[in-house]
């Protein structure tokens, strides 16, 4: 049987602590720079007219970023979770249950709930019902009722005049309120998306950082340095595009960008610190990494499909422009392809 050939012992071949440490330090520097550059490109791109969120090119950049995030969930994170939670090192009948898919599904559902509740909460908080409009609606209703009851004469004439005035005021207020509400709703939506997306990326980034930092095999670490550098760069572009659309204040943008840039390097430092006690094939490590990877995959897949791709590809502006649709689809496939190719090394 295949299980009989498997071992839970740590492979001692190609272990060189000092050389591995040098590669880890190089990984910290390169991943930190790549993540920072990636997340800052779309944010700083707002100063370039062609890369502003209202331009067509931004749709293409976001499609590429969404492809990267989608491939991260399906190709990088989910297979690792399956590998961990179906390892022969986990004994017992309980682990025959497909926990990977279950946790990913629950994470996606919880993300949907958080997405919906957070958007609803902030929208209601930002746009309370204006009392003036409600009063106008009430007065207009009274006016219409009066007309239906057949009010005539001087009082009736005055009533009709008042109703017309109120109707005009109500229409203007409703139009203005609708426009403000629509802009505010989009603004709030982008903020919620960027924060939930960062949560999913951060969970995954810390785990891969710890795994790299705890390894003592230069042969394993060397290809990971280049692969994870590109990995963080592409993920940074995806997150940066969402942050740019959210229009946070400068302080919040700096905190979110710095937080993303530091997660994998901090994970590597943690991994270096626990090298002597961390065993990648221990049941505890496999379960913790598997569950967190599964949850991260569920979040990333949901965010890529629902909040990034669906929102943009169903946008009336893109629907009305076949050339933009074609370019966005090509960009999506290119982004997903690039990230999938990196799975060969990381």
* Model confidence pLDDT, tens digit, residues 223-280: 888 888 888 888 888 888 888 888 888 898 999 999 999 999 999 999 898 887 878 7
**Cβ(221)–Cβ(20) below 8 Å:** yes
| pLDDT of 195 higher than 70 | yes
Q: Which of 106-115, 277-286, 325-334 has the highest mean pLDDT?
A: 325-334
List Cα–Cα distances, 336 to 71, 248, 304, in angstroms. 5, 28, 11
- Tell me what pLDDT residue 161 has: 47
Residues with Cβ within 8 Å of residue 225, at least 6 apart in sequence: 23, 26, 27, 30, 31
Q: What is the mean pLDDT of the chain?
A: 79
From the list 62, 114, 138, 36, the residue with the least C-alpha distance to 313 is 62
For residue 42, pLDDT beyond 90: no
Flag whether pLDDT at 222 surpasses 70.
yes
189-202: buried (b, 16+ CB within 10 Å) or exposed (e) per residue?
Answer: bbbbbbbbbbbbbb
Q: Measured between alpha carbons, how far is 315 from 203 in angstroms, rounded to an integer? A: 30
pLDDT of residue 117: 86
For position 121, what pLDDT does the model report?
Answer: 80
- As given in the structure block, the two tokens for residue 205 are 């980034």
CA 217 – CA 77 distance, rounded (Å): 22
DSSP labels for 241-309? HHHHHHT--HHHHHHHHHHHHHHHHHHHHHHHHTTTT--TTSHHHHHHHHHHHHHHHHHHHHIIIIIII
Long-range contacts of the stretch 172-181 (C-beta < 8 A, 24+): 173/130, 173/132, 173/133, 173/136, 174/133, 177/130, 177/133, 180/127, 181/127
pLDDT number for residue 268: 92
At 138 the pLDDT is 46
> What is the rounded CA–CA span in Å between residue 46 and residue 250?
13
More confident residue, 29 or 155: 29
Specify the range with the lowest mean pLDDT, choosing from 94-98, 164-168, 254-258, 288-292: 164-168
Q: What is the mean pLDDT of residues 194-220?
A: 84
For 49-71, how does the pLDDT look when each residue is reduced to its tens digit (9 = 90+)?
766 766 788 888 889 888 988 99
Residue 98's pLDDT band, with cuts at 50, 70 and 90, is: very high
C-alpha 111/C-alpha 209 separation (Å) is: 24
Residue 51 CB-half CA count within 13 A: 15
Choose between 142 and 110: higher pLDDT: 110
pLDDT digits (tens, 9 = 90+) for 107-132: 999 989 988 888 888 778 766 655 54
Q: Cα separation of 316 and 324, whole Å?
A: 11
Q: Write out the two tokens for 39.
A: 């997340």
Nearest to 39 by CA among 231, 225, 303: 231
Highest mean pLDDT among 134-143, 184-193, 259-268, 280-289 belongs to 259-268
Mean pLDDT in residue range 36-42? 88
């Amino acid at each position: 049987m295949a299980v009989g050939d498997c071992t839970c012992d740590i492979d001692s071949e190609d272990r060189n602590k000092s050389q591995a440490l040098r590669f880890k330090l190089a990984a910290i520097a390169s991943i930190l720079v790549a993540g920072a550059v990636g997340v800052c490109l779309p944010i700083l791109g707002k100063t370039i007219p062609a890369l502003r969120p209202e331009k067509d090119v931004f749709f293409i950049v976001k499609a590429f970023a969404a492809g990267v995030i989608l491939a991260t969930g399906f190709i990088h994170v989910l297979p690792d979770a399956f590998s961990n939670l179906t390892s022969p090192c986990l004994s017992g009948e309980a682990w025959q249950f497909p926990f990977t898919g279950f946790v990913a599904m629950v994470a996606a559902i919880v993300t949907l709930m958080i997405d919906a509740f957070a958007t609803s909460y902030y929208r209601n908080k930002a746009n309370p019902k204006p009392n003036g409009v409600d009063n106008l609606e009430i007065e207009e209703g009274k006016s219409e009722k009066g007309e239906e009851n057949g009010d005539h004469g001087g009082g009736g004439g005055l009533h009709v005049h008042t109703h017309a005035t109120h109707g005009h005021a109500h229409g203007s207020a409703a139009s203005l309120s609708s426009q403000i509400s629509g802009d505010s709703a989009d603004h709030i939506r982008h903020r919620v998306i960027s924060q939930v997306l960062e949560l999913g990326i951060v969970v995954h980034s810390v785990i891969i950082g710890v795994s790299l930092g705890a390894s003592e095999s230069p042969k394993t670490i060397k290809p990971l340095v280049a692969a994870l550098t590109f990995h963080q760069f592409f993920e940074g572009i995806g997150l940066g595009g969402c942050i740019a659309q959210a229009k946070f204040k400068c302080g919040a943008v700096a905190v979110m960008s710095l937080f993303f840039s530091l997660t994998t390097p901090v994970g590597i430092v943690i991994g270096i610190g626990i090298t002597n006690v961390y065993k990648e094939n221990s049941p505890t490590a496999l379960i913790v990494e598997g569950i967190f990877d599964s949850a991260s995959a569920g979040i990333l897949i949901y965010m890529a499909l629902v909040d990034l791709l669906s929102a943009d590809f169903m946008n009336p502006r893109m629907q009305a422009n076949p050339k933009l649709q074609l370019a966005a689809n090509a960009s999506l496939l290119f982004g997903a392809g690039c990230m999938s190719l990196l799975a060969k090394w990381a």
